[in-house]
Amino acid sequence: MEQPFALIVGTRRDRSHTDERAAVPVTIRDVARASGVHISTVSRTFSAPHLVNPETRVRVLACAEDLGYRPNRAARALITGRTHNIGLIIADIANPFFPPLIKAAEGQARQRDYHVFVADTNEDPVAEEELVHALAKQVDGVLLCSPRMSNTLIEQLSREVPLVVINRQVAGLPCVMMDVGQGARAAVEHLVGLGHTAIALLSGPRGSWTSREIRRSAAAAARAGGAELTVLGPNPPTEHGGGALAEQVQRAGATAVLAYNDLMAIGLIEGLDALGVRVPQDVSVVGIDDIALSRLTRPKLTTVATPTAAAGRTAVDMLLQLETDAPRGPRGAGRDAAAGARRTTAQVMLQTELVIRDSTGGVPSSGSPGAERVGPGPHRLADPGRPTAATGGAVAS
């Protein structure tokens, strides 16, 4: 244990030979012996109570309770082929976007007597694939949240274990998505409505479906509104990733910014602040996700609210539904054509909503203070320290 601060404050001999720790694991057989029935009856008492005589049942339950019996899920899984576990693979657990989704998924799963296995990939596509493999055999299905890998790989993996994809569309697979496209459109329209014509888009990580959707919709909305959209990225979807773009935003002469997510938006505001650029007076910023944090920063963030909790619940439901439709039994089950061929894979789109707070405002008056600028038209920040022409970054198609 190589922690720098580690410091042993106390050690202690464990309980002596009378140690009751790790008490003999009590199995179904112990319960059977104690209650004078066969193990199969005990098994049925738990998994098919209606098949056993009420008297017997109470006796067995009493004995089980008494001995502290808990069915061994591994053994059960071995024969039934269902672990009652769900894997949830997410890009970065430290991103506040995910916890609500995780909580919702856990809650929904727990209600259905399932457990959720959460794993973090650090935004790494390779880790993602490995995790799916590792989880495949110990869960009944996997929720893939904001995957960064390729569509073909996802399809391939879906052959190994039932998959539900969150935040991405993959043909032929059950997906639950949030309509960030619509959200991005609303955000851009909001900005255009405020008079902005030079808008920057901070895109997300490479391989992000969400990022592509945002970009496409934002570009369309900007075009429709007569504004110019400068795309900056791809970027890591963190506050740091946002902060690092402050200068580029400034150089690009944008008066408004749409960020891939709130974290980046907040980081950007920080970065702009360090450059002496004020939000929303000098530059308007809008994020996406509406994480709790976006209500806590100053200025409070204008953002596109995504229904993360609903997405978590829905995904769990879809996965479980998928399981009941086409169980992958222990034996060569499921070859039943009637069940197999009639299955349909649903794709759900959850709506988003623009939440207007304090980080967006009108276009700053240019050059000479006092000159109100409202109408559209090309416009650069007066003098951000350097000659302004340069429209850095990529321009959306």
Determine if 56 is a binding residue for DNA (CB under 7 A). yes
Q: How many residues bind a second copy (CB under 8 A)?
A: 92
Determine if 25 is a binding residue for DNA (CB under 7 A). yes
Q: How many residues bind DNA (CB under 7 A)?
A: 34
Site residues for DNA, window 313-372 (CB under 7 A)?
330-331
Report the candidate in 85, 97, 182, 113 with the shortest Cα–Cα distance to residue 145: 97
Determine if 344 is a binding residue for a second copy (CB under 8 A). yes
Q: SS3 for 43?
A: helix
Determine if 153 is a binding residue for a second copy (CB under 8 A). no
Least CB distance from residue 22 to DNA, whole Å?
Answer: 12
Given candidates 42, 52, 91, 117, which one binds a second copy under the rule CB under 8 A?
Answer: 117
The beta strands (E) that lie in 64-148 are given as 85-90, 115-120, 141-145
Determine the residue type at 267.
G
Which of the stretches 58-66, 128-136, 355-363, 383-391 binds a second copy when contact is defined by CB under 8 A?
128-136
Least CB distance from residue 311 to a second copy, whole Å?
Answer: 9
Determine the residue type at 285.
V
Site residues for a second copy, window 240-269 (CB under 8 A)?
266
Q: CA-CA distances (angstroms) from residue 365 to 65, 113, 302, 362, 375?
A: 75, 59, 21, 9, 11
- Cα separation, 319 vs 139, in Å, equals 11
Determine if 171 is a binding residue for a second copy (CB under 8 A). yes
Give the residues across from 201 on adjacent strands: 231, 258
- Cα separation, 70 vs 128, in Å, equals 33
Site residues for DNA, window 31-50 (CB under 7 A)?
36-41, 43-44, 46-48, 50
Residue 336 dihedral angles phi and psi, to the nearest 5° = -65, 115
Least CB distance from residue 52 to DNA, whole Å?
Answer: 4
Residues that bind DNA (CB under 7 A): 25, 27-29, 36-41, 43-44, 46-48, 50-57, 69-72, 75-76, 78-80, 330-331
